Amino acid sequence: MTTSTPGGPDRRPGERGDLLDPLCPTRRLLDRIGTKWTSMAVKVLAEEDPGELRFAELRRRIPGISQKMLSVTLQSLVRDGLAARRVEPTVPPAVHYRLTELGRSLEGPLSTLRIWAETHMPEVDRSNRLADGSAPG
């Protein structure tokens, strides 16, 4: 999402007071859940919670995701402390993922968004079609 911390490197989060700061927590959260597969992965993991899912099983449950993007997405989740990774030292290795408590706590806000989306995105789509139809060329 770009947001490459413009304005100099010597800025602290929360400085200058308000949520409009480029480093504000909301912006940084949106940068994360805005990436294409993150919210899907959280949802799928949350549905399995408190259980775990293996890499291949996650891939099956997220149709269309590539191996690379699942890997990148899970690494981000683990790095952010939203998911945990557990490796069984077998051959071949079996890697399991689960939500952390922090990850679980994100499910509420995300489901709120989902409900709004399911309820109101049809209106947004109608609005877009209207805009397309009124003055296209």
Partner DNA sequence: CGGGATCCTTCACGATACTG
Partner DNA sequence: CAGTATCGTGAAGGATCCCG
Least Å distance, CB 74 to its own copies, is 13
Q: 4 or 90: whose CB is closer to its own copies?
A: 4
By CB under 8 A, is residue 85 in contact with its own copies? no
By CB under 7 A, is residue 134 in contact with DNA? no
By CB under 8 A, is residue 80 in contact with its own copies? yes
Angle at 85 between CA 84 and CA 91, to 5 degrees: 165
Q: Name which of 18, 21, 25 is nearest 6 in CA terms.
A: 21
By CB under 8 A, is residue 137 in contact with its own copies? no
Assess contact for 74 and 37: CB atoms under 8 A.
Answer: no
Containing H/E element for 70?
Answer: helix 67-79
Binding mask 8-47 for its own copies (x = CB under 8 A): -----x--x--xxxx-xxxxxxxxxxxxx--xx--xx---
**98 conformational bin, left if phi > 0, alpha if psi -120 to 50, beta if neither:** beta
By CB under 7 A, is residue 64 in contact with DNA? yes
Cα separation of 46 and 93, whole Å? 23
List residues binding its own copies (CB under 8 A).
1-3, 6-7, 13, 16, 19-22, 24-36, 39-40, 43-44, 61-64, 78-82, 102, 105-106, 108-109, 112-118, 120-128, 131
